[in-house]
Amino acid sequence: MALPEDFLDELRSKNDITSVISMYANLKKRGRNYVCKCPFHNDSTPSFTVYPDTESFYCFGCAAGGDVISFIMRAEQLVYIDAVKYLAQRAGMQMPENKYDDSFSKLRLRILEANREAARFYHSQFYTESGYRGLDYLRSRQLSDQTINKFGLGFAPDSWTALTDHLLAKKFTRYELLQANLCVESKKGSLIDRFRNRVMFPIIDLKGNVIAFGGRIMTDEKPKYLNTSDTPVFKKGDGLFAFNIAKNSKSDKFILCEGYMDVIALHQAGFDFAVAALGTALTSEQARMLKKYKETVVLCYDSDNAGQLATQRAIGILRKENVNVKVLQIPEGKDPDEYIKRNGSDGAVKFKLLLDSIESDIDYKIEQLETRFDITDASGKFQFLDQAAKMLAEIKNDIERNIYASKLCEKYKVSAQDFEMQLAKYVRSNVYKSSREEFKRVKKQITESVPVSKGVQGGGLSTRAVRAEEALISYLMHNPDMVQSVTDRVPSEKISHEFNRRVYNALTERILSGKSANFVDFSGEFTKDENAYIASVFARFSNELNVPQAVDEYISVILEENEKKSAAQLAELPPEDIQKYFDEMKARKKG
Protein backbone atom coordinates (compact mmCIF):
# COMPACT_ATOMS: atom_id res chain seq x y z
CA MET A 1 0.00 0.00 0.00
CA ALA A 2 1.20 3.52 -0.76
CA LEU A 3 2.22 5.87 2.01
CA PRO A 4 -0.70 7.90 3.44
CA GLU A 5 -1.35 11.34 1.93
CA ASP A 6 -1.23 13.19 5.22
CA PHE A 7 2.09 11.56 6.10
CA LEU A 8 3.69 12.61 2.80
CA ASP A 9 2.30 16.15 3.17
CA GLU A 10 3.89 16.46 6.60
CA LEU A 11 7.14 14.85 5.43
CA ARG A 12 7.40 17.36 2.59
CA SER A 13 6.58 20.37 4.74
CA LYS A 14 9.19 19.38 7.34
CA ASN A 15 11.86 18.55 4.77
CA ASP A 16 12.00 21.53 2.47
CA ILE A 17 14.11 20.47 -0.51
CA THR A 18 16.41 23.50 -0.36
CA SER A 19 17.18 23.00 3.32
CA VAL A 20 17.89 19.28 2.82
CA ILE A 21 20.14 19.76 -0.20
CA SER A 22 21.97 22.65 1.50
CA MET A 23 23.36 20.07 3.96
CA TYR A 24 25.27 18.53 1.05
CA ALA A 25 26.01 21.50 -1.22
CA ASN A 26 26.49 25.26 -1.15
CA LEU A 27 23.29 26.58 -2.74
CA LYS A 28 23.15 30.04 -4.30
CA LYS A 29 19.92 31.77 -5.25
CA ARG A 30 19.42 32.50 -8.93
CA GLY A 31 16.05 34.05 -9.68
CA ARG A 32 13.32 31.81 -8.29
CA ASN A 33 15.66 28.82 -8.13
CA TYR A 34 18.93 27.76 -6.51
CA VAL A 35 22.10 26.49 -8.15
CA CYS A 36 25.30 24.78 -7.02
CA LYS A 37 28.01 22.43 -8.20
CA CYS A 38 26.56 18.94 -8.43
CA PRO A 39 27.30 16.74 -5.40
CA PHE A 40 27.02 13.61 -7.59
CA HIS A 41 29.74 14.27 -10.16
CA ASN A 42 32.84 16.40 -10.70
CA ASP A 43 31.22 19.68 -11.66
CA SER A 44 33.40 22.55 -12.86
CA THR A 45 30.48 24.99 -13.16
CA PRO A 46 27.16 25.01 -11.27
CA SER A 47 24.96 22.69 -13.33
CA PHE A 48 22.77 21.50 -10.45
CA THR A 49 19.50 23.41 -10.03
CA VAL A 50 16.87 23.23 -7.27
CA TYR A 51 13.31 24.23 -8.22
CA PRO A 52 11.34 25.17 -5.07
CA ASP A 53 8.12 25.59 -7.10
CA THR A 54 8.02 21.93 -8.05
CA GLU A 55 10.12 20.75 -5.07
CA SER A 56 12.52 19.08 -7.46
CA PHE A 57 16.16 19.18 -8.52
CA TYR A 58 17.96 18.45 -11.76
CA CYS A 59 21.61 18.37 -12.85
CA PHE A 60 22.23 19.35 -16.46
CA GLY A 61 25.65 17.71 -16.24
CA CYS A 62 24.97 14.15 -15.07
CA ALA A 63 21.13 14.04 -15.45
CA ALA A 64 20.52 13.26 -11.77
CA GLY A 65 17.11 14.54 -10.75
CA GLY A 66 13.99 14.02 -8.69
CA ASP A 67 12.45 15.21 -5.45
CA VAL A 68 13.79 15.42 -1.90
CA ILE A 69 13.36 11.65 -1.47
CA SER A 70 15.24 10.95 -4.72
CA PHE A 71 18.03 13.22 -3.53
CA ILE A 72 18.45 11.33 -0.26
CA MET A 73 18.34 8.03 -2.14
CA ARG A 74 21.36 9.16 -4.18
CA ALA A 75 23.21 11.01 -1.43
CA GLU A 76 22.88 8.27 1.19
CA GLN A 77 22.70 5.26 -1.18
CA LEU A 78 19.26 4.21 0.07
CA VAL A 79 16.19 2.62 -1.48
CA TYR A 80 12.96 4.62 -1.58
CA ILE A 81 11.34 3.53 1.67
CA ASP A 82 14.62 3.83 3.59
CA ALA A 83 15.07 7.36 2.24
CA VAL A 84 11.56 8.17 3.51
CA LYS A 85 12.53 6.75 6.92
CA TYR A 86 15.69 8.88 6.88
CA LEU A 87 13.69 12.06 6.23
CA ALA A 88 11.05 11.09 8.77
CA GLN A 89 13.73 10.65 11.41
CA ARG A 90 15.25 14.00 10.43
CA ALA A 91 11.88 15.65 10.94
CA GLY A 92 11.11 13.78 14.17
CA MET A 93 8.19 11.91 12.56
CA GLN A 94 6.97 8.39 13.16
CA MET A 95 6.56 6.12 10.16
CA PRO A 96 2.95 4.99 9.63
CA GLU A 97 2.26 1.45 10.77
CA ASN A 98 1.80 -1.13 8.00
CA LYS A 99 0.66 1.48 5.50
CA TYR A 100 3.29 0.98 2.86
CA ASP A 101 5.03 -1.69 0.83
CA ASP A 102 8.44 -2.09 2.43
CA SER A 103 9.11 -5.58 1.06
CA PHE A 104 12.35 -4.48 -0.61
CA SER A 105 13.51 -2.73 2.54
CA LYS A 106 12.76 -5.89 4.53
CA LEU A 107 14.67 -7.96 1.98
CA ARG A 108 17.71 -5.70 2.37
CA LEU A 109 17.49 -6.08 6.14
CA ARG A 110 17.30 -9.87 5.83
CA ILE A 111 20.31 -9.93 3.50
CA LEU A 112 22.32 -7.90 6.02
CA GLU A 113 21.26 -10.32 8.77
CA ALA A 114 22.26 -13.28 6.59
CA ASN A 115 25.63 -11.69 5.85
CA ARG A 116 26.26 -11.07 9.54
CA GLU A 117 25.40 -14.68 10.37
CA ALA A 118 27.61 -15.89 7.50
CA ALA A 119 30.54 -13.82 8.82
CA ARG A 120 30.10 -15.41 12.25
CA PHE A 121 29.94 -18.86 10.67
CA TYR A 122 33.09 -18.32 8.59
CA HIS A 123 35.02 -16.99 11.59
CA SER A 124 33.94 -19.92 13.76
CA GLN A 125 35.38 -22.38 11.23
CA PHE A 126 38.90 -21.42 12.29
CA TYR A 127 38.36 -23.48 15.40
CA THR A 128 37.13 -26.65 13.70
CA GLU A 129 39.19 -29.56 12.40
CA SER A 130 38.39 -28.76 8.75
CA GLY A 131 38.84 -25.00 9.06
CA TYR A 132 41.97 -24.79 11.15
CA ARG A 133 44.17 -24.77 8.03
CA GLY A 134 42.55 -21.44 7.08
CA LEU A 135 43.79 -19.99 10.36
CA ASP A 136 47.22 -21.54 9.76
CA TYR A 137 47.36 -19.92 6.33
CA LEU A 138 46.67 -16.43 7.72
CA ARG A 139 49.22 -16.93 10.48
CA SER A 140 51.74 -18.02 7.85
CA ARG A 141 51.10 -14.64 6.22
CA GLN A 142 52.23 -13.17 9.58
CA LEU A 143 48.81 -11.88 10.59
CA SER A 144 48.28 -11.76 14.35
CA ASP A 145 45.15 -13.14 15.99
CA GLN A 146 44.31 -9.58 16.98
CA THR A 147 44.36 -8.48 13.33
CA ILE A 148 42.37 -11.54 12.24
CA ASN A 149 39.70 -10.70 14.80
CA LYS A 150 39.76 -6.97 14.02
CA PHE A 151 38.89 -7.60 10.37
CA GLY A 152 36.52 -10.48 11.16
CA LEU A 153 38.37 -12.85 8.83
CA GLY A 154 37.09 -16.37 8.38
CA PHE A 155 37.20 -19.57 6.37
CA ALA A 156 34.69 -21.12 3.97
CA PRO A 157 34.83 -24.93 4.37
CA ASP A 158 35.61 -27.19 1.44
CA SER A 159 31.98 -28.28 1.38
CA TRP A 160 29.10 -27.81 -1.06
CA THR A 161 26.45 -26.92 1.52
CA ALA A 162 28.06 -26.12 4.89
CA LEU A 163 26.95 -22.47 4.94
CA THR A 164 23.70 -23.21 3.11
CA ASP A 165 22.65 -25.78 5.72
CA HIS A 166 23.62 -23.42 8.54
CA LEU A 167 21.62 -20.48 7.19
CA LEU A 168 18.58 -22.55 6.29
CA ALA A 169 18.59 -23.84 9.86
CA LYS A 170 18.59 -20.18 10.97
CA LYS A 171 15.28 -19.75 9.05
CA PHE A 172 16.67 -17.77 6.12
CA THR A 173 14.76 -18.55 2.95
CA ARG A 174 16.09 -19.85 -0.35
CA TYR A 175 15.17 -16.54 -2.02
CA GLU A 176 17.02 -14.49 0.63
CA LEU A 177 20.19 -16.57 0.30
CA LEU A 178 20.20 -16.30 -3.48
CA GLN A 179 19.59 -12.55 -3.33
CA ALA A 180 22.48 -12.22 -0.86
CA ASN A 181 24.69 -14.20 -3.29
CA LEU A 182 25.81 -16.36 -0.37
CA CYS A 183 24.41 -19.34 -2.25
CA VAL A 184 23.92 -20.22 -5.91
CA GLU A 185 21.85 -22.83 -7.71
CA SER A 186 23.52 -26.02 -8.89
CA LYS A 187 22.79 -27.46 -12.33
CA LYS A 188 20.22 -29.67 -10.63
CA GLY A 189 18.52 -26.66 -9.04
CA SER A 190 19.64 -27.26 -5.47
CA LEU A 191 21.29 -24.61 -3.29
CA ILE A 192 25.08 -24.75 -2.86
CA ASP A 193 27.61 -22.44 -1.19
CA ARG A 194 29.10 -19.70 -3.39
CA PHE A 195 32.37 -19.69 -1.43
CA ARG A 196 34.23 -22.93 -0.73
CA ASN A 197 37.74 -23.64 0.58
CA ARG A 198 38.66 -19.96 0.76
CA VAL A 199 39.90 -17.51 3.38
CA MET A 200 37.09 -14.99 3.78
CA PHE A 201 37.27 -11.19 4.01
CA PRO A 202 34.02 -9.48 5.13
CA ILE A 203 33.25 -6.16 3.44
CA ILE A 204 31.80 -3.74 6.01
CA ASP A 205 30.03 -0.47 5.26
CA LEU A 206 30.19 2.78 7.24
CA LYS A 207 27.26 1.69 9.41
CA GLY A 208 29.01 -1.50 10.48
CA ASN A 209 26.93 -3.80 8.27
CA VAL A 210 28.53 -6.78 6.54
CA ILE A 211 27.45 -6.12 2.95
CA ALA A 212 29.60 -8.61 0.99
CA PHE A 213 32.60 -10.95 1.04
CA GLY A 214 35.86 -11.52 -0.76
CA GLY A 215 37.28 -15.04 -0.75
CA ARG A 216 40.93 -15.99 -1.44
CA ILE A 217 41.90 -19.47 -2.53
CA MET A 218 44.90 -20.88 -0.64
CA THR A 219 46.28 -22.77 -3.64
CA ASP A 220 47.29 -21.75 -7.18
CA GLU A 221 43.79 -22.38 -8.50
CA LYS A 222 41.94 -19.69 -10.42
CA PRO A 223 40.28 -17.39 -9.73
CA LYS A 224 42.60 -16.31 -6.94
CA TYR A 225 39.91 -14.05 -5.49
CA LEU A 226 36.16 -14.52 -5.67
CA ASN A 227 33.88 -11.65 -4.67
CA THR A 228 30.20 -11.23 -3.94
CA SER A 229 28.29 -10.15 -7.03
CA ASP A 230 26.09 -7.06 -6.90
CA THR A 231 23.13 -7.49 -4.54
CA PRO A 232 20.38 -5.23 -3.13
CA VAL A 233 22.86 -4.12 -0.43
CA PHE A 234 26.13 -4.11 -2.37
CA LYS A 235 27.66 -2.67 -5.53
CA LYS A 236 31.33 -3.34 -6.18
CA GLY A 237 32.02 0.09 -7.59
CA ASP A 238 30.49 1.95 -4.64
CA GLY A 239 32.50 0.71 -1.66
CA LEU A 240 36.06 0.30 -0.39
CA PHE A 241 37.61 -2.41 1.78
CA ALA A 242 38.50 -1.20 5.32
CA PHE A 243 36.99 2.22 4.61
CA ASN A 244 34.93 1.92 7.79
CA ILE A 245 38.20 1.92 9.76
CA ALA A 246 40.37 4.18 7.59
CA LYS A 247 37.92 7.09 7.52
CA ASN A 248 38.41 7.51 11.27
CA SER A 249 42.22 7.54 11.08
CA LYS A 250 44.03 10.64 12.33
CA SER A 251 46.06 10.70 9.13
CA ASP A 252 45.29 13.41 6.60
CA LYS A 253 45.49 10.95 3.71
CA PHE A 254 44.38 7.54 2.43
CA ILE A 255 46.65 4.84 1.00
CA LEU A 256 44.88 3.11 -1.88
CA CYS A 257 46.11 -0.46 -2.46
CA GLU A 258 45.24 -3.23 -4.88
CA GLY A 259 44.29 -6.06 -2.55
CA TYR A 260 42.82 -7.04 0.80
CA MET A 261 46.07 -8.53 2.13
CA ASP A 262 48.02 -5.34 1.36
CA VAL A 263 45.47 -3.29 3.31
CA ILE A 264 45.46 -5.65 6.30
CA ALA A 265 49.26 -5.82 6.40
CA LEU A 266 49.47 -2.01 6.41
CA HIS A 267 46.89 -1.69 9.17
CA GLN A 268 48.77 -4.26 11.27
CA ALA A 269 51.96 -2.23 10.71
CA GLY A 270 50.24 0.89 12.03
CA PHE A 271 49.04 2.47 8.78
CA ASP A 272 45.34 2.43 9.59
CA PHE A 273 44.41 4.66 6.64
CA ALA A 274 44.85 2.01 3.91
CA VAL A 275 41.90 0.94 1.74
CA ALA A 276 41.33 -1.08 -1.45
CA ALA A 277 38.78 -1.27 -4.24
CA LEU A 278 36.49 -4.31 -4.19
CA GLY A 279 37.56 -6.55 -7.02
CA THR A 280 37.21 -3.81 -9.64
CA ALA A 281 39.21 -0.90 -11.00
CA LEU A 282 38.77 2.38 -9.13
CA THR A 283 35.48 4.16 -9.93
CA SER A 284 34.38 7.79 -9.78
CA GLU A 285 32.02 6.89 -6.93
CA GLN A 286 34.91 5.51 -4.87
CA ALA A 287 37.01 8.58 -5.67
CA ARG A 288 34.22 10.82 -4.37
CA MET A 289 34.00 8.72 -1.19
CA LEU A 290 37.71 9.25 -0.58
CA LYS A 291 37.52 12.97 -1.32
CA LYS A 292 34.65 13.38 1.12
CA TYR A 293 36.87 12.42 4.07
CA LYS A 294 40.44 13.36 3.12
CA GLU A 295 42.06 15.60 0.49
CA THR A 296 45.02 13.37 -0.39
CA VAL A 297 45.17 9.82 -1.75
CA VAL A 298 48.46 7.91 -2.03
CA LEU A 299 48.39 5.27 -4.77
CA CYS A 300 50.31 2.17 -3.72
CA TYR A 301 49.68 -0.39 -6.45
CA ASP A 302 51.95 -3.23 -7.54
CA SER A 303 54.92 -2.22 -9.68
CA ASP A 304 54.22 -4.73 -12.48
CA ASN A 305 52.71 -3.63 -15.80
CA ALA A 306 49.15 -4.21 -14.64
CA GLY A 307 49.79 -2.18 -11.50
CA GLN A 308 51.33 0.68 -13.47
CA LEU A 309 48.37 0.78 -15.86
CA ALA A 310 46.00 0.76 -12.88
CA THR A 311 47.97 3.63 -11.33
CA GLN A 312 47.73 5.75 -14.49
CA ARG A 313 43.99 5.12 -14.72
CA ALA A 314 43.42 5.87 -11.02
CA ILE A 315 45.33 9.16 -11.33
CA GLY A 316 42.91 10.34 -14.03
CA ILE A 317 39.83 9.38 -12.02
CA LEU A 318 41.07 10.97 -8.79
CA ARG A 319 42.17 14.14 -10.60
CA LYS A 320 38.69 14.56 -12.06
CA GLU A 321 37.34 14.60 -8.51
CA ASN A 322 39.92 17.23 -7.47
CA VAL A 323 41.79 14.83 -5.20
CA ASN A 324 45.43 15.58 -4.38
CA VAL A 325 47.18 12.49 -5.78
CA LYS A 326 50.53 11.07 -4.68
CA VAL A 327 52.27 7.88 -5.83
CA LEU A 328 54.29 5.52 -3.66
CA GLN A 329 56.51 3.11 -5.59
CA ILE A 330 57.72 0.01 -3.75
CA PRO A 331 61.33 -1.00 -4.61
CA GLU A 332 62.00 -4.17 -6.62
CA GLY A 333 58.38 -4.45 -7.74
CA LYS A 334 57.12 -5.66 -4.38
CA ASP A 335 53.64 -5.05 -3.02
CA PRO A 336 53.16 -3.45 0.45
CA ASP A 337 52.48 -6.78 2.17
CA GLU A 338 55.64 -8.40 0.78
CA TYR A 339 57.79 -5.32 1.39
CA ILE A 340 56.85 -5.08 5.07
CA LYS A 341 57.38 -8.80 5.66
CA ARG A 342 60.73 -8.92 3.83
CA ASN A 343 62.06 -6.17 6.09
CA GLY A 344 61.06 -7.96 9.27
CA SER A 345 60.98 -5.81 12.39
CA ASP A 346 62.08 -2.81 10.33
CA GLY A 347 59.21 -3.22 7.83
CA ALA A 348 56.97 -0.52 9.28
CA VAL A 349 59.86 1.94 9.69
CA LYS A 350 61.07 1.45 6.13
CA PHE A 351 57.58 1.76 4.73
CA LYS A 352 57.19 5.01 6.67
CA LEU A 353 60.36 6.30 4.97
CA LEU A 354 58.86 5.42 1.59
CA LEU A 355 55.65 7.17 2.55
CA ASP A 356 57.57 10.29 3.58
CA SER A 357 59.29 10.41 0.18
CA ILE A 358 56.24 9.98 -2.03
CA GLU A 359 56.13 11.89 -5.28
CA SER A 360 53.28 13.73 -6.94
CA ASP A 361 51.26 12.05 -9.64
CA ILE A 362 52.74 14.42 -12.24
CA ASP A 363 56.34 13.56 -11.30
CA TYR A 364 55.38 9.90 -11.48
CA LYS A 365 53.79 10.27 -14.93
CA ILE A 366 56.83 12.16 -16.25
CA GLU A 367 59.15 9.41 -14.99
CA GLN A 368 56.97 6.74 -16.59
CA LEU A 369 56.86 8.71 -19.82
CA GLU A 370 60.65 9.01 -19.94
CA THR A 371 61.05 5.21 -19.94
CA ARG A 372 59.38 5.11 -23.37
CA PHE A 373 62.05 7.24 -25.08
CA ASP A 374 65.82 7.33 -25.55
CA ILE A 375 66.50 10.84 -24.29
CA THR A 376 70.20 10.51 -25.11
CA ASP A 377 69.12 10.81 -28.74
CA ALA A 378 67.95 14.23 -30.01
CA SER A 379 64.89 12.78 -31.72
CA GLY A 380 63.96 10.73 -28.65
CA LYS A 381 64.41 13.72 -26.36
CA PHE A 382 62.19 15.87 -28.59
CA GLN A 383 59.44 13.22 -28.65
CA PHE A 384 59.62 12.87 -24.88
CA LEU A 385 59.40 16.63 -24.26
CA ASP A 386 56.59 16.98 -26.78
CA GLN A 387 54.56 14.27 -25.02
CA ALA A 388 55.44 15.80 -21.64
CA ALA A 389 54.07 19.17 -22.83
CA LYS A 390 50.89 17.46 -24.00
CA MET A 391 50.53 15.79 -20.59
CA LEU A 392 51.15 19.00 -18.61
CA ALA A 393 48.60 20.81 -20.79
CA GLU A 394 45.91 18.64 -19.17
CA ILE A 395 46.54 20.29 -15.78
CA LYS A 396 43.74 22.79 -15.22
CA ASN A 397 45.47 25.00 -12.66
CA ASP A 398 47.82 27.50 -14.33
CA ILE A 399 50.16 27.83 -11.34
CA GLU A 400 50.51 24.06 -10.89
CA ARG A 401 51.12 23.61 -14.63
CA ASN A 402 53.83 26.31 -14.68
CA ILE A 403 55.61 24.86 -11.64
CA TYR A 404 55.94 21.44 -13.30
CA ALA A 405 56.96 23.02 -16.60
CA SER A 406 59.79 24.90 -14.86
CA LYS A 407 60.97 21.75 -13.05
CA LEU A 408 60.97 19.78 -16.29
CA CYS A 409 62.90 22.44 -18.22
CA GLU A 410 65.53 22.63 -15.48
CA LYS A 411 65.93 18.87 -15.17
CA TYR A 412 66.20 18.16 -18.90
CA LYS A 413 68.14 21.31 -19.85
CA VAL A 414 65.65 22.68 -22.35
CA SER A 415 64.78 26.30 -23.23
CA ALA A 416 61.90 27.43 -21.04
CA GLN A 417 60.66 29.77 -23.76
CA ASP A 418 60.57 27.03 -26.43
CA PHE A 419 58.90 24.55 -24.09
CA GLU A 420 56.30 27.06 -22.94
CA MET A 421 55.41 27.84 -26.57
CA GLN A 422 54.77 24.13 -27.21
CA LEU A 423 52.87 23.83 -23.93
CA ALA A 424 50.70 26.87 -24.76
CA LYS A 425 49.78 25.29 -28.09
CA TYR A 426 48.45 22.16 -26.39
CA VAL A 427 46.65 24.21 -23.73
CA ARG A 428 44.83 26.17 -26.47
CA SER A 429 43.97 22.92 -28.23
CA ASN A 430 42.53 21.46 -25.00
CA VAL A 431 40.49 24.61 -24.36
CA TYR A 432 39.10 24.41 -27.91
CA LYS A 433 38.24 20.72 -27.54
CA SER A 434 36.66 21.34 -24.16
CA SER A 435 34.58 24.21 -25.56
CA ARG A 436 33.38 22.06 -28.46
CA GLU A 437 32.44 19.21 -26.12
CA GLU A 438 30.59 21.61 -23.82
CA PHE A 439 28.79 23.11 -26.80
CA LYS A 440 27.74 19.65 -28.00
CA ARG A 441 26.53 18.75 -24.51
CA VAL A 442 24.46 21.92 -24.15
CA LYS A 443 23.11 21.59 -27.68
CA LYS A 444 22.07 18.03 -26.93
CA GLN A 445 20.32 19.11 -23.72
CA ILE A 446 18.45 21.84 -25.58
CA THR A 447 17.41 19.81 -28.60
CA GLU A 448 16.97 16.33 -27.20
CA SER A 449 13.59 16.08 -25.51
CA VAL A 450 13.07 12.37 -25.95
CA PRO A 451 14.59 10.26 -23.16
CA VAL A 452 16.91 7.46 -24.11
CA SER A 453 14.93 4.49 -22.91
CA LYS A 454 13.31 1.34 -24.18
CA GLY A 455 10.44 1.98 -26.55
CA VAL A 456 11.50 5.53 -27.40
CA GLN A 457 14.64 5.57 -29.49
CA GLY A 458 13.80 4.00 -32.83
CA GLY A 459 10.25 3.45 -31.72
CA GLY A 460 8.72 5.59 -34.45
CA LEU A 461 7.47 8.29 -32.10
CA SER A 462 7.53 11.94 -33.08
CA THR A 463 10.01 14.02 -31.10
CA ARG A 464 7.65 16.93 -31.71
CA ALA A 465 4.78 15.08 -30.04
CA VAL A 466 6.87 13.88 -27.09
CA ARG A 467 8.14 17.40 -26.48
CA ALA A 468 4.58 18.75 -26.47
CA GLU A 469 3.53 16.02 -24.01
CA GLU A 470 6.41 16.89 -21.70
CA ALA A 471 5.50 20.58 -21.84
CA LEU A 472 1.87 19.79 -21.04
CA ILE A 473 2.86 17.67 -18.02
CA SER A 474 5.05 20.48 -16.73
CA TYR A 475 2.20 22.96 -17.28
CA LEU A 476 -0.24 20.84 -15.25
CA MET A 477 2.24 20.57 -12.39
CA HIS A 478 2.34 24.36 -12.22
CA ASN A 479 -1.38 24.85 -12.99
CA PRO A 480 -3.38 22.01 -11.40
CA ASP A 481 -6.60 24.06 -11.63
CA MET A 482 -6.51 23.59 -15.42
CA VAL A 483 -6.52 19.79 -15.28
CA GLN A 484 -10.19 19.33 -16.14
CA SER A 485 -10.10 21.46 -19.27
CA VAL A 486 -6.86 19.78 -20.39
CA THR A 487 -8.01 16.19 -19.81
CA ASP A 488 -11.31 16.89 -21.56
CA ARG A 489 -9.31 17.71 -24.68
CA VAL A 490 -6.46 15.24 -24.16
CA PRO A 491 -7.54 11.91 -22.64
CA SER A 492 -4.59 9.76 -21.60
CA GLU A 493 -4.88 7.46 -24.60
CA LYS A 494 -3.89 10.44 -26.79
CA ILE A 495 -0.48 10.60 -25.07
CA SER A 496 1.70 8.68 -27.52
CA HIS A 497 4.80 8.16 -25.36
CA GLU A 498 4.24 5.25 -22.97
CA PHE A 499 6.20 6.69 -20.06
CA ASN A 500 4.72 10.17 -20.52
CA ARG A 501 1.31 8.51 -20.34
CA ARG A 502 2.19 6.97 -16.96
CA VAL A 503 3.28 10.34 -15.60
CA TYR A 504 0.25 12.09 -17.12
CA ASN A 505 -2.11 9.55 -15.53
CA ALA A 506 -0.40 9.71 -12.12
CA LEU A 507 -0.53 13.51 -12.15
CA THR A 508 -4.06 14.04 -13.47
CA GLU A 509 -5.63 11.30 -11.36
CA ARG A 510 -4.25 12.85 -8.18
CA ILE A 511 -5.44 16.34 -9.08
CA LEU A 512 -8.89 15.19 -10.23
CA SER A 513 -9.38 13.26 -6.99
CA GLY A 514 -8.64 16.39 -4.98
CA LYS A 515 -5.16 15.34 -3.85
CA SER A 516 -2.00 17.43 -3.95
CA ALA A 517 0.29 16.82 -6.88
CA ASN A 518 3.72 17.82 -5.68
CA PHE A 519 6.62 15.74 -6.92
CA VAL A 520 7.07 13.95 -3.60
CA ASP A 521 3.43 12.84 -3.62
CA PHE A 522 3.82 10.44 -6.52
CA SER A 523 7.58 9.91 -6.86
CA GLY A 524 7.24 6.58 -5.04
CA GLU A 525 5.44 5.20 -8.10
CA PHE A 526 8.59 5.56 -10.21
CA THR A 527 12.19 4.35 -10.13
CA LYS A 528 15.18 6.59 -9.37
CA ASP A 529 15.99 6.95 -13.08
CA GLU A 530 12.36 7.61 -13.98
CA ASN A 531 12.17 10.32 -11.33
CA ALA A 532 15.32 11.84 -12.79
CA TYR A 533 13.62 12.00 -16.19
CA ILE A 534 10.49 13.62 -14.70
CA ALA A 535 12.71 16.18 -13.00
CA SER A 536 14.42 16.85 -16.32
CA VAL A 537 11.01 17.61 -17.84
CA PHE A 538 10.26 20.18 -15.15
CA ALA A 539 13.76 21.64 -15.53
CA ARG A 540 13.66 21.92 -19.30
CA PHE A 541 10.19 23.47 -19.36
CA SER A 542 10.43 25.59 -16.23
CA ASN A 543 10.74 28.76 -18.32
CA GLU A 544 8.18 27.85 -20.99
CA LEU A 545 5.20 30.14 -21.47
CA ASN A 546 2.32 28.99 -19.29
CA VAL A 547 -0.33 31.03 -21.07
CA PRO A 548 -3.44 29.51 -22.67
CA GLN A 549 -2.08 30.12 -26.17
CA ALA A 550 1.01 28.02 -25.42
CA VAL A 551 -1.08 25.24 -23.89
CA ASP A 552 -3.35 25.29 -26.96
CA GLU A 553 -0.27 24.79 -29.11
CA TYR A 554 0.91 21.83 -26.99
CA ILE A 555 -2.52 20.20 -27.25
CA SER A 556 -2.77 20.91 -30.98
CA VAL A 557 0.57 19.19 -31.61
CA ILE A 558 -0.36 16.18 -29.46
CA LEU A 559 -3.70 15.68 -31.20
CA GLU A 560 -2.26 16.25 -34.67
CA GLU A 561 0.59 13.82 -34.18
CA ASN A 562 -1.75 11.33 -32.56
CA GLU A 563 -3.90 11.22 -35.67
CA LYS A 564 -0.99 10.44 -37.92
CA LYS A 565 -0.88 6.81 -38.92
CA SER A 566 2.33 4.85 -38.95
CA ALA A 567 3.71 3.38 -42.16
CA ALA A 568 2.69 -0.08 -40.97
CA GLN A 569 -0.88 1.06 -40.34
CA LEU A 570 -1.11 2.71 -43.77
CA ALA A 571 0.20 -0.40 -45.51
CA GLU A 572 -2.83 -2.32 -44.28
CA LEU A 573 -5.33 0.15 -45.81
CA PRO A 574 -6.73 -0.09 -49.34
CA PRO A 575 -5.27 2.45 -51.84
CA GLU A 576 -8.37 4.67 -51.82
CA ASP A 577 -8.28 4.99 -48.02
CA ILE A 578 -4.59 5.85 -48.08
CA GLN A 579 -5.26 8.65 -50.59
CA LYS A 580 -8.19 9.86 -48.49
CA TYR A 581 -5.95 9.97 -45.42
CA PHE A 582 -3.32 12.11 -47.14
CA ASP A 583 -5.98 14.43 -48.57
CA GLU A 584 -7.35 14.99 -45.06
CA MET A 585 -3.86 15.71 -43.72
CA LYS A 586 -3.22 18.26 -46.48
CA ALA A 587 -6.57 19.97 -45.87
CA ARG A 588 -5.86 20.19 -42.15
CA LYS A 589 -2.48 21.82 -42.78
CA LYS A 590 -4.03 24.39 -45.15
CA GLY A 591 -6.72 25.14 -42.61
DSSP 3-state of 270: coil
User: pLDDT for 63-92, tens place per residue?
Assistant: 889 999 999 998 888 888 889 999 999 999
Strands (E) across 23-71 are located at 28-30, 33-36, 48-51, 56-59, 65-66
Q: What is the C-alpha to C-alpha distance for residues 492 and 475, in angstroms, rounded to an integer?
A: 15
Strand-pairing partners, residue 66, are: 57
The pLDDT, as a whole number, for residue 265 is: 96
Distance separating alpha carbons of residues 226 and 200, to the nearest angstrom: 10
Residue 472, SS3 per DSSP: helix
Q: Where are the domains of the chain?
A: 5-90, 104-234, 250-358, 372-446, 463-590
In angstroms, what is the C-alpha Rg of the chain? Answer: 30
Q: What are phi and psi of 190, to 5 degrees?
A: -90, 160
**The CATH number of the domain covering residues in 463-590:** 1.10.860.10
pLDDT, residue 568, reads: 45
**Contacts from 268-271 at CB under 8 Å and sequence distance 24+?**
268/143, 268/144, 268/147, 269/340, 269/347, 269/348, 269/351, 270/348, 271/348, 271/351, 271/355
Q: Can you tell me the distance from the alpha carbon of 310 to that of 315, in angstroms, rounded to the nearest whole number?
A: 9
Top-level class of domain 104-234: alpha beta
CATH of 5-90, one of 3.90.1150.200, 3.40.50.150, 3.90.580.10, 3.30.1370.30: 3.90.580.10
Buried b (16+ CB within 10 A) or exposed e, 209-231: bbbbbbbbbbeeeeeebbbbeeb
Query: Which of 354-368, 399-413, 571-585 comes out lowest in average pLDDT?
Result: 571-585
pTM, entire model:
0.71
- Return the bridge partners of 28, or none: 35
List of residues 6+ apart from 439 with CB closer than 8 A: none
**pLDDT digit string (tens) for 454-467?**
333 333 445 778 88
| Alpha carbon 191 to its chain's center | 32
Whole-number pLDDT of residue 230 = 92
Give the pLDDT score at 150. Answer: 96
Angle at the Cα of 444 from the Cα atoms of 443 and 450, rounded to 5 degrees: 140
CATH of domain 250-358: 3.40.1360.10
- pLDDT value of position 103: 78
Place 436 in a pLDDT band, splitting at 50, 70 and 90. confident
Specify the pairing of strand 324-327 against strand 183-185: unpaired
Q: What is the mean pLDDT of residues 363-371?
A: 92
Mean pLDDT of 230-235: 91
Given a cut of 70, whether residue 446 has pLDDT beyond it is: no
- How many helices (H) and strands (E) the chain has is answered by 27, 16
User: Residue 516's pLDDT band (boundaries 50, 70, 90)?
Assistant: confident
pLDDT in tens, 20-34: 999 998 899 998 899
The amino acid at 116: R
Residue 98 is predicted with a pLDDT of: 63
Query: Residue 547 has what pLDDT?
Result: 60
Mean pLDDT of the chain: 86
Does the pLDDT of residue 432 top 70, yes or no? Answer: yes
The rounded percent of the chain whose pLDDT value lies above 70 is 88
Calculate mean pLDDT across residues 418-436: 87
Confidence band (pLDDT; 50, 70, 90) for 452?
very low
The pLDDT confidence band at residue 572, using thresholds 50, 70 and 90, is: low
